[in-house]
Amino acid sequence: MSDKILVAYGSKYGSTAEIAEAIGEAMRENGFDVDVLSADTVSDVTPYQAVVLGSAVYAGMWRKDAVKFLESQEAELAQRPVWLFSSGPTGEGDPVELLDGWRLPEAQQSIADRISAHDIAVFHGNMDEDKLNLGEKLIVKAIKGKFGDYRDWDAIRAWASQIGAALSS
């Protein structure tokens, strides 16, 4: 196993991909060799010392590509340090509170438990009204979601630094 780190993500409109890139960049600044890849392009995690996996959350669910990655790589993920993140809630306040206290969709929590994920973070998301289709806009309005970019780049970089510190110790 190398000292390479994988940051994989499931993203629909690119906001979660940008979060993954920021995590990768922060880890590179701390001396790590990092690949940042869309979850649907990764078929093997054995070359990686550790994995960070994140997904956008839509209607309380992770993206299918991130779920498929988590399920198909479960055995390998259980053999290395893993960190998970969800991105999506918009608006002011604690993102976990905005998701009614959960950090991961219930359907993925059992896998996170089995692989002993080191941490599960929730980051505010970015909802660009111009990118959404009519159905998505109606859902956002129905759940009283907020349009706009609420991502907290300092919190994202700080979390990536915590991962780096854990891997260095």
Please tell me the total count of domains within the chain: 1
Give me the pLDDT at residue 2, please: 59
CATH number for the domain including 92? 3.40.50.360
Give me the pLDDT at residue 89, please: 80
Give me the pLDDT at residue 43, please: 95
Residue 127 in contact with residue 145, Cβ under 8 Å? yes
**25-66 tens-digit pLDDT:** 999 998 999 999 999 999 999 999 999 999 998 878 899 999
Give me the pLDDT at residue 1, please: 46
Residue 32 in contact with residue 52, Cβ under 8 Å? no
Give me the pLDDT at residue 68, please: 97
Q: Could you please report the per-residue DSSP string of 23-70? A: HHHHHHHTT-EEEEEEGGG----TT-SEEEEEEEEETTEE-HHHHHHH
Please name which of 91, 84, 49 lies closest in space to residue 63, comparing C-alpha atoms: 84
The CA-to-CA distance between both ends of the chain, in Å, stands at 17
What is the pTM (predicted TM-score) of this model?
Answer: 0.92
* Residue range 87-97: mean pLDDT, rounded: 85
**Type and span of the H or E element at 72:** helix 64-72
CA 20 to chain centre: 7
Residue 123 in contact with residue 155, Cβ under 8 Å? yes
Domain that holds residue 38: 4-168
* Residue range 66-82: mean pLDDT, rounded: 97
**137-161 tens-digit pLDDT:** 888 788 777 888 999 999 999 999 9
Residue 141 φ then ψ, to 5°: -65, -40
* Residue range 84-111: mean pLDDT, rounded: 87
Q: Which two tokens stand for residue 113?
A: 């438990």
Residue 32 in contact with residue 74, Cβ under 8 Å? no
